[in-house]
Structure 1
């Protein structure tokens, strides 16, 4: 994968000092660290400056990441589509290896990252990509794509897919707006 590298910009947020955290901030941090994520990588140290938003968003995120009813591979594929659409450096950096480990083919991920149409061997992968792409391109999902999603996954999981796409768009917007990078990130998947 060709990657550009650049020194990360300074975050637009003040550094968070846990020693001076409010009780609300400490409660959010404790819940995140004791949950399935187990780390604060991503938007959490940005959201922590608004603890009510942080608490609601991290709970929604835990649902969208772990309990949508989609297999991990499909969830991560949808997240990669979102990260690429928003050109979210940290979101891609965090989720790309998770997606590969979950079974998203490297060639598919690279096509998504570079803005090319992937070639799919799996019908479910093609459906998730079509659904997400239509929603991002037209702000709608066509009747045929919607019906394919409902026929394959049911209404509840299709609703959850929309929630997953919306949540990770929020993550990308947060990371981009506040110029946040992932822990240890030195290479950028998207040109700035």
Structure 2
């Protein structure tokens, strides 16, 4: 975590307006995460951002495992402790082992990745570092992923880079266990 305390505190439940309560409890979540309790302070943005974020997380054409490899790599590259922490759990649910999650910190150079995973990590690094995928990486990427999947990959890296920036800057803290 870059900050030990939030710059923008998560909104306590007793502070929620009716609109915020509706936004945060839509779908009746058992637990509302700090990211959402922070971002809902701007309800108009929250309402417009969540459909996009939900596409990336729940409706992407990328296989869940590949999506999580890219997200974990972005979280690491952006030094977003919150993002990496949350997606460690999501990554495990998508079939990643603890060792593979740790390897996302090393990236494409780590031993044991498939060619597709190595290319996915290389593309993620290039997008993060230069906002562009090189021709060589693109040629390798399209051998493993179709057009929709490549589009989803670019937008996944962009979404989680943007979210990591917000989490880091606002100081969103990892939830207490329990």
| Alignment match, 1:19 | 14
Structure 1's 156 and 38: CA in aligned 2 closer, same or farther, altered over 3 A?
Answer: farther
Aligned to 2:4: 9
CA offset at residue 161 of structure 1? 1.1
- In the TM superposition, residue 12 of structure 1 has moved relative to its aligned partner by 1.0
Unaligned 5+ residue runs, structure 2? none
Task: Describe how 1:47-58 pairs up with structure 2 within 5 A.
Answer: 47-58=39-50
Q: Distance in 2 between matches of 1:96 and 1:20?
A: 30
Q: State how far apart, in whole Å, the 2-side matches of 1:15 and 1:131 are.
A: 33
- Check conservation: 1:78, 1:132, Cα contact below 8 A: yes
Q: Secondary structure at the match of 1:49?
A: coil
Task: Name the residue aligned to 2:136.
Answer: 144
TM-score, normalisation: structure 1: 0.80
Pair 68,38 (structure 1): closer, same or farther in 2 beyond 3 Å = farther
Query: Could you tell me how far apart the structure 1 residues matched to 2:175 and 2:109 are?
Result: 30
Match of 1:75 in 2: 67
Cα pair distance change 1:15/1:133, threshold 3 Å: closer
Listed one character per residue, the Cα deviations across residues 56-75 of structure 1 (whole Å, up to 9, x for unaligned) are 22221111011111111111
User: Unpaired segments of 5 or more residues in structure 1?
Assistant: 1-5, 186-192
Shift of 1:38: 5.6
Aligned to 1:188: none
Query: Map of 1:16-165 to 2, 5 A cutoff?
Result: 16-31=11-26, 34=27, 39-113=31-105, 117-165=109-157
Q: Given the superposition, is the C-alpha separation of residues 109 and 117 from structure 1 closer, same or farther in structure 2, using an over 3 Å criterion? A: farther
What's the offset of the Cα at 1:88? 0.6
SS at match of 1:113: coil
Q: Does the 8 Å CA contact 2:73/2:107 hold for their aligned counterparts?
A: no
Q: Which runs of 4 or more aligned residues in structure 1 lie more than 4 Å from their structure 2 counterparts after TM superposition?
A: none
The secondary structure found in structure 1 opposite 2:149 is helix
The answer to whether the 8 A contact 1:42-1:91 is kept is no
Separation in structure 2 between the aligned mates of residue 114 and residue 175 of structure 1, nearest angstrom: 22
Whether the 8 Å contact between 1:132 and 1:165 is mirrored in structure 2 is: yes
Distance 1:42 1:160 in 2: 26
The RMSD of aligned alpha carbons is 2.4
Q: Distance in 2 between matches of 1:42 and 1:65?
A: 17
